[in-house]
Amino acid sequence: MVQMITVAGFVNNLFCFLAVLWTWWWENSNYKPRFITQALVILFTAALVIFWYYMRRLIESSKTVLQQHTSPPGPRGLPLVGNLPFLDAELHTHFADLAQTYGPILKLHLGNKVAIVVSSPSLAKEVLKDHDITFANRDVPAVAKTVEYVSCNIVSSPYGAHWRMLRRLCVAHMLSSTSLDTVYPLRKREVQRMVGEIYGNIGLPVNLSDQLFLTILNVITSMLWGGMLKGEGEIDLGAEFRHVVSEITELLGKPNLSDFIPCLAWLDLQGIQSQIKKLFLKFDRIFNSIIEQRLKMGIKDGEESKDFLQLLLHLQEKQTKTRLTMLHIKAILMDMVVGGTETTSNTVEWAMAELMNNDEIMQRAQEELEIIVGKDSRVEEIHLPRLHFLNAVMKEVLRLHPALPLLVPHCPSSSCKIGGYMVPKGARVFVNVWAIHRDPSIWEKPLDFNPERFLNCERDFGGNNFNYFPFGSGRRICAGISMAERMFMYELATLLHSFSWKVAERYGKVDLKEKFGIVLKKATPLIAVATPRLSNPALYE
Ligand code: HEM
């Protein structure tokens, strides 16, 4: 801008000088000797050249300034509602289609909210790495106003001291490798319970989707408060939990008019806020009763906490510098239950679905297990680091079916230039990791399920490779990667080692149709029939 003003000033002065010179020549033209005329013509031509040169620079620089303030391209919308009426329910494929027309960064108007969709590795890197702090915020959804948990949990909290404190607590005391090592017996118990359940239904169709969800839910609730779904009604309570978590993740992924036209939020036109509120009330009742029981038990000074909830309550009672409130405690419980269950169980379900459609790959994974574990033994977590092919299967599943296809939307705390375009403060930024993972310019035959591409290659999901980042990247990268990795490998290895699998007859080939929500699911649950593979029936008990 300063440059533009200086150039404009110079051009102005040049004009004044020329005008004065012209007036003087005109007034004295009666006497004009030949050399004065020549000098004036030369001077005038030189002035014109200089003038032209500076005008060009002025235009160039103003073009750059203009571009810096230019919005990304995008489809035209209607007044007031913008592009909202044209959004497809399957947002990830819809955004991928739009990117084909408008390019790797595009803008949509969703009511009075600006949405930016980024679909290339270099732009994802700009958002998640180069401008990490600016984009490390969330666009808190309208439901947060009806459900207090949502506004102060890890996933939705803005980048800052509160978010850091909650995240550190979870990572240090529940999700770190050391904490996970100590609760291996819980994982073992729950995975073995699942094996027993399937063994009891040998030859019959089993809803693997439900089994996988219940197993991870039981692992997480055991880590949080020692487990809840025990005794009679175990499956029913698990099913209710599943229903609530599924509904919440689906509703959170739905475009909500109240987010985009805030003055209409009180009307809750789609009923999303009221539905979510009811679902959270169910959680609240369960959390309240568990917390009450825990408080009654109390914890003595110096005594080690038995589970994560006990530790949180202890920290709250002691009023340590964490300044935890009961609301924060519930928000953390919610983060772990909602953030950890569907993501992990759906990924294992996708893995089983892909393997059941690819006999050779399934066989290769089972052969590896026979060599490393052996048919006379159960899978243990110590086997996992040696299962290289299975590890490649996990990476390939996370490539084709990233649990959060658009990550959790990010939100810039100030306007910021991405790919030469201005992304305004407060925009909702979607990073389409699903589209990047299927980009044919990055991946050979991207739609093929081919774990081989991850064998003998350094590519991992630590967030440093912007061709492949199923857990996100930067400060808001998934907090539960270690747990997800262990649970995925352990569950899948156990299922493949313990049983042979085939699709229930009436279902034919496994249908891989997706259903979008904040968590991407299989449109229909995976129903399969198992037969035992291990040498000794005692291994199924
Ligand atoms: C296969 C399993 C999983 C996948 C693919 C996954 C993926 C992700 C992704 C993509 C994000 C958003 C990153 C971003 O916004 O840039 C995220 C956030 C998060 N995940 Fe996971 N996740 C999985 C399992 C888990 C588990 C097991 C837990 C904990 C028990 C967990 C806890 C969280 C939390 C707390 C956040 C919010 C982080 C923040 O905003 O600071 N996730 N996850």
Tens of pLDDT, residues 436-479 = 999 999 999 999 999 999 998 878 898 999 999 999 999 999 99
Share of the chain above pLDDT 70, in %: 85
> Which one-letter amino acid corresponds to residue 306?
K
Contact 132, 124 (CB under 8 A): no
Q: What gap in Å lies between CA 486 and CA 311, rounded to an integer? A: 23
Q: What pLDDT is stored for residue 6 in this prediction?
A: 45
Residue 417 has pLDDT above 80, yes or no: yes
Q: What pLDDT is stored for residue 236 in this prediction?
A: 60
Contact 251, 147 (CB under 8 A): no
Q: How far is the CA of 2 from the centre of ligand 1 (A)?
A: 45
pLDDT band at 4 (very low <50, low <70, confident <90, very high): very low
**Best substitution site from 343, 433, 487 to test ligand 1's pocket, by max atoms within 8 Å of Cβ?**
343
The stretch 348-373 carries a mean pLDDT of 97
pLDDT band at 157 (very low <50, low <70, confident <90, very high): very high
Here the tokens at position 125 are 């890197």
The overall average pLDDT reported for the chain is 86
> Which one-letter amino acid corresponds to residue 35?
F
Share of the chain above pLDDT 90, in %: 59
0.95 surpassed by complex ipTM: yes
pLDDT band at 17 (very low <50, low <70, confident <90, very high): low
Ligand 1 pocket, residues with Cβ under 6 angstroms: 154-155, 167, 175, 335-336, 339-340, 343-344, 347, 403-404, 407-408, 470-472, 476-480, 483-484
Strand partners, 410: 138, 429
Contact 142, 259 (CB under 8 A): yes
Multiple choice CATH, 143-540, 1.10.630.10, 3.40.50.1100, 1.10.1060.10, 3.40.640.10: 1.10.630.10
Alpha carbon nearest to ligand 1 atom 1, residue? 344
Q: How far is the CA of 407 from the centre of ligand 1 (A)?
A: 9
pLDDT band at 233 (very low <50, low <70, confident <90, very high): very low
The stretch 256-270 carries a mean pLDDT of 86
Residue 351: name the closest of 487, 220, 189, 200 by CA: 487
pLDDT band at 405 (very low <50, low <70, confident <90, very high): very high
Can you give the pTM of this predicted structure?
0.85
Q: What pLDDT is stored for residue 291 in this prediction?
A: 87
Instruction: Tell me whether residue 16 is annotated as binding.
Output: no
Q: What pLDDT is stored for residue 368 in this prediction?
A: 98
The set of residues, in sequence order, having a beta carbon less than 8 Å from that of 251 and lying 6+ positions away, is 143, 272, 275, 276, 279, 517
Other beta carbons within 10 angstroms of residue 286's beta carbon come to 18
| pLDDT digit string, tens, across residues 193-222 | 999 999 999 999 999 999 999 999 999 988
| pLDDT digit string, tens, across residues 56-110 | 666 555 555 555 569 999 999 999 899 999 999 999 999 999 999 999 999 999 9
Residue 216: name the closest of 337, 331, 306, 382 by CA: 337
Q: How far is the CA of 460 from the centre of ligand 1 (A)?
A: 16
Strand partners, 143: none
Q: How far is the CA of 340 from the centre of ligand 1 (A)?
A: 7
**Best substitution site from 471, 473, 485 to test ligand 1's pocket, by max atoms within 8 Å of Cβ?**
471
